[in-house]
């Protein structure tokens, strides 16, 4: 089982079934505005750790 099968597809932040620029744009907007939706690692803070985690999943397409 690969990472995407185990975790689902966490970088599909708009939940449309695809990982693409729309997900990146949504996350970047949330991150820029310190929106809680950008708390990608669920630690209660929006910071570089969230961006790094999102980028890692985005790069592999899940």
Per residue of the chain (62 residues), give pLDDT as tens: 455 555 578 999 999 989 999 999 999 999 999 999 999 999 999 999 999 999 999 999 88
pTM of the model: 0.85
Quote the pLDDT of residue 42.
Answer: 95
Of the candidates 30, 23, 32, the one whose C-alpha atom is nearest the C-alpha of residue 57 is 23
Tokens 């961006």 sit at which residue? 51
């Amino acid at each position: 089982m690969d990472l995407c099968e185990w975790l689902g597809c966490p970088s599909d932040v708009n939940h449309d079934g695809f990982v693409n620029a729309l997900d990146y744009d949504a996350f970047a907007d949330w991150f820029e505005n310190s929106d809680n939706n950008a708390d990608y690692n669920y630690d209660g803070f929006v910071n570089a750790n969230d961006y790094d985690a999102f980028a890692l999943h985005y790069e592999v397409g899940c």
